[in-house]
Amino acid sequence: MINAIIIICAYVIGSIPSGLWIGKIFYNTDIREHGSGNLGGTNSFRVLGKKAGIVVTLLDILKGTAATLLPLLPFFGDASIHPLILGAIAVVGHMFPLFAGFRGGKAVATSGGVLLGYAWPLFILLIVGFFISLKITKMVSLSSMIVSVIAVIYCIIYMFVTGDYALLILVLILAGFIFYRHRANIQRIKEGTEPKVKWI
């Protein structure tokens, strides 16, 4: 019973549509009707501005972290679900949120939050890699996919050192989510029409 409750909690946490709620409450704007129509941080930056984009991105990251750390709460002390499974469920909730008609984000920030909760050195590495890639390519989507590949490579090496197969499996799944959710972006990158950021 406790396992079922913690799984539901992880999904509900992931389902919190930060971009949608912040847009509607503070800007009277449904970001699904503007820009890419996505609920993530990138579209929040594009539609609502820098301040809102930062807040949405941080909240989306923290969703993954919060779900991953749920087993640390006394109420869930008897749960036998691996924290990375809970993190993955939160990412699914972010992509298909209960509170936003199952139209969510592209899994990047919440995936990062899972890693922050479970393997923070990897999270720091990926943040640095993301901004280096963004500086070079000017494309958030491409940078997100690049760091997902970096994460896989890191976890393969990490697995041989520590034997942590669970982290590698989780990162492979999250990388798959990220590439799948960026299908349209990949096509635009091939066509040379993918939007580029100008602030970096």
Average per-residue pLDDT for the chain:
93
Burial 11-42 (b: 16+ CB within 10 A, else e): bbbbbbbbbbebbeeeeebebbeeebebbbbb
Length of the chain counted residue by residue: 200
For the chain, what percent of residues have pLDDT higher than 70? 100
Contact of 31 with 48, CB cutoff 8 Å: yes
Assess contact for 152 and 107: CB atoms under 8 A.
no
Neighbour count for residue 155 (Cβ, 10 Å)? 24
Asked whether 132 and 82 are in contact (CB, 8 A), the reply is no
C-alpha to C-alpha distances, 49 to 21, 42, 131, 189, 193, nearest whole angstrom: 15, 10, 19, 24, 22
What's the predicted TM-score (pTM) here? 0.92
Is 144:134 a contact under the CB 8 Å cutoff? no
Which residue, 79, 68, 73, 76, is CA-closest to 111? 68
88-134 residue pLDDT tens: 999 999 999 999 989 888 889 999 999 999 999 999 999 999 999 99
Taking CA atoms, 174 is separated from 90, 159, 169, in Å, by 11, 16, 9
Q: Of 98, 76, 87, 88, whose CA–CA distance to 3 is shortest?
A: 76
Distances (CA, A) of 177 to 80, 110, 159, 171: 25, 11, 21, 10
Cα separation of 34 and 161, whole Å?
Answer: 46
- The more confident residue out of 32 and 37 is 32
pLDDT tens digits along 35-91: 888 888 889 998 998 899 999 999 999 999 999 999 999 989 888 999 999 999 999
